[in-house]
Structure 1
Amino acid sequence: MKSIFQSEHFTEKKIVKTYTNARARKHIVEENRHYENAAVNIDIKEIMLDGIHIYIRNEKLKPPFIMQVEHDFPFMKMHFEMEGSSKYKPLDPKNPAVNIPSGHYNLFFLPKVKGTLTYDSPIRKTLEINFNKRFLKRVFGPSLMDASSAYGQALLSNTPFLMWEKSKPIPPNILLIIQDIINCNFDGSIKKTYLESKVIEVLSILFNEIKNKNHTEQDYTEIDFLKIKEAEAILQKNLKNPPTIPELAILTGLNQFKLKQHFKQVYGKPIFKYITDLRMEKAIQLIVDHGHTVSEAAYDIGYKNPQHFTAAFKRKFNYLPSKLKIHS
């Protein structure tokens, strides 16, 4: 298997990367690569597991950075663009383009990759997870087609598949898993098992989303989409005391109906549930990573009564937040 990358920004103009097609990888393999010249400064951590390649990228570029790319193998990928943007335009117009803005993600299958990649931002931070059919069969077994739904049908028929025509914002639950993968400090077989479990967790979430999502085009405009992104940013910044829906509608310039409807379309849940989930995830970080007590965490995320927080936490996770202190 071989990948070819060509760009005027590369000193050698063309980079060819070959991959061994091992039947199974028993041990984790990690490589850290640094590439730098006048136009680019790139750090890549590549983690190779059994049927999985994880790429953690931190890049500084002189935009627009344009690169020709070609893979001689079917390309299955989860791509999370934490910062920056990625635009793939295929040489064959019959094949789909893949555009992933900052803070967005997509899952896709491309039987053939030959086209142009363009990066428009001077800073890129990404997590990219490539995997193969053998890995999917090993994990999901005979239930692969049922579990992966339309994605599995695309694999079977060898036809391109994009989870979203327009890439979606990375939701908080997946963002936490991404950080777990990037910040994993285990070693050896423990790290291999841990990372595989995280990849399976994300795939399970996305496959379930594919099975349940409405495949019709969303009815919001690009302007409305940007306003929904603005609304989410306001909620993130004011988690302790978030605005009401009427206040948020005024701040974003959307009427309340559009705000509620389109927010659920973009982020997959109503505004109040989204706020609650953000608060719970923030509370876990405060308790586990920063040593807060349950009461301190409750106050910091906007609960005036710690018992109300404890009850809400128990409803969501089915265990008390005090258990987090035992494992922190």
Structure 2
Amino acid sequence: MSSPQRITTDAGSRDSLTWEFDGIRMGHAISTFNTLTSFSATSANTDVVRLHIGLKGNYSFYYKQLDTHYHLIGGHHNILYSKDFDMMVENRTLQLETFGIQFPRETFLRFTQNANPLLQRFADRLISGDSAILSEQWGAVDPGIQQVVHQIVNNPYKGDLQQLFLLSKSIELLVLCAESCRLALDKKEEFLKSPADKEKILAVRDLINERLHCPPNLSQISRTVGLNEYKLKRGFKETFNTTVFGYLAEQRLLLARQYLLDTSRTAAEISYELGYCTPQHFNNAFKKRFGSTPNDLRKNP
């Protein structure tokens, strides 16, 4: 695992982790600001494709090579390419959490040579040397993408095994993000017409993530974020392709699986901690989702 690094400036601090393997560079960062400000991000002579994931926080940026402004609300991703890289970023919240992967151009083309039409069109731009973005419609960070990022950041492996693990996860993220962007392009936004409503739906997601062990009900969530239940339910499904209850159930099970692999807590302890009625209820839900019981996973991780 990469050693954590902290950079402190007058504007705030940045805590980061980076990994490098097979020419691929991967990084996770949490930036904490003292105030809303702007800053530049530049890189010259780097012929790489960037998979960018915004996990938390709102910000906007101007991408010089694409001559485009983007205004982003936490929980988004896209794939971008330019030989040089010049951005001016403005943070709209005091904390930003991001994750990114830089693929050498030839490596990316090798991975995507038989991909879906969206990726193939993007690859054609790369072959021509043009600056490009995979999709003008940024994809939403769904539970699957969240889980892979969590696995990467918390991976326990060392040496060659870690490199193999990270390579497999980089490809998995590439597949998930490309498919998510394809779905976002085909989706019609029927319920969330304003950025304010989209921010409220992301606040719903964050509220659920913070309270997996004792989640609020729909009426409580509705009052907390200031969105009526009808728009809440349909806006959540529109954004994350699942219901509020489905998202909660999936996040609980993914977290339970991580606890089973990374801690010594018993299945019963985990079930109660995550709010399941009984260990048997947890056992049944876990087996239905992963195909094995919690105890079986411990024996054969």
TM-score by length of 1: 0.74
CA shift in 2, pair 1:43/1:261, >3 Å:
closer
Q: 2:33, 2:95 within 8 Å by CA — same for their partners in 1?
A: yes
Question: Which residue identity is paired with 2:149?
Answer: I
2:267 alignment partner, one of 285, 291, 294 = 294
Retained in 2: the 8 A contact 1:86–1:120? yes
| Structure 1 counterpart SS, 2:114 | helix
TM superposition shift of 1:262: 0.5
CA distance in 2, matches of 1:128, 1:321: 32
Counterpart pick for 2:256 among 265, 283, 306: 283
Kindly provide the amino acid, as one letter, of the partner of residue 263 in structure 1. F
Deviates more, 1:257-266 or 1:244-253: 244-253
1:206 aligns with 2:174: no
The residue aligned with 1:193 is 164
Q: Does 1:118 align with 2:86?
A: no
CA distance change for structure 1 residues 39 and 229 in 2, over 3 Å: closer, same or farther?
A: closer
Task: Classify the secondary structure of the residue corresponding to 1:143.
Answer: coil
The partner residue of 2:144 within 173, 177, 186 is 173
Q: Which runs of 5+ in 2 are unaligned?
A: none
Moved more, 315-324 or 246-255: 246-255
Q: Rate the CA distance shift 1:42–1:270 in 2: closer, same or farther, 3 A.
A: closer
Aligned to 1:97: 69
What amino acid maps onto 1:256 in structure 2? E
Taking CA–CA contacts closer than 8 Å with sequence separation of 6 or more, which of the two structures ends up with the larger relative contact order? 2
Over 3 Å counting, the alpha-carbon distance change for 1:283 and 1:178 in structure 2 is same
- Mapped to 2, the partners of 1:307 and 1:43 lie a distance apart of 40
1:5-20 to structure 2, matched below 5 A, reads none
Q: SS where residue 304 of structure 1 aligns?
A: coil
RMSD: 3.2
How has the CA–CA distance of structure 1 residues 109 and 238 changed in structure 2, closer, same or farther, with 3 Å as cutoff? closer
Amino acid at match of 1:151: L
Q: TM-score, structure 2 length as denominator?
A: 0.80
SS at the partner of 2:62?
strand
Assess, with a 3 A threshold, how the Cα gap between structure 1 residues 135 and 191 changes in structure 2: closer, same or farther: same
Q: What residue identity is the alignment partner of 1:110?
A: Y
How far apart, CA to CA, are the structure 2 residues paired with 1:40 and 1:252? 28
Alpha-carbon deviation of 1:126? 3.0
CA distance in 2, matches of 1:218, 1:315: 32
Structure 1, unpaired ranges of 5+: 1-27
Q: Does 1:226 align with 2:199?
A: yes
1:311 aligns with 2:284: yes
One-letter code aligned to 2:124: L
| Counterpart selection for 2:103 from 131, 145, 170 | 131
State the secondary structure of the residue aligned to 2:186.
coil
The one of 47, 72, 75 aligned to 2:19: 47
Aligned with residue 106 of structure 1, among 57, 72, 77: 77
- How far, CA to CA, are the matches of 2:207 and 2:215 in structure 1? 8
Q: Structure 2: how far apart are the matches of 1:40 and 1:246? A: 37
Alignment equivalent of 1:266, drawn from 239, 243, 267 = 239
Match of 1:152 in 2: 120
Structure 2: distance between partners of 1:302 and 1:162:
40
Q: Secondary structure at the match of 1:206?
A: helix
CA contact (8 A) 1:151 1:161 kept: no
The 2-side partners of 1:70 and 1:235 are apart by 37
8 A Cα contact 1:96 1:160, kept in partner: no
Q: Percent identity?
A: 20
Find out whether 1:326 has 2:265 as its counterpart.
no
User: How far off is 1:189 after superposition?
Assistant: 1.7
CA distance in 1, matches of 2:118, 2:255: 34
Higher Rg of the two aligned structures: 1
Residue by residue over 1:200-227, the C-alpha shift from the partner in whole angstroms, topping out at 9 and shown as x without a partner, is 1111212232344443552412222222
- Alpha-carbon separation, structure 2, partners of 1:31 and 1:252: 37
Within 2, Cα distance between the matches of 1:213 and 1:120? 24
Q: Which stretch of the first structure deviates more once superposed, 252-261 or 234-243?
A: 234-243
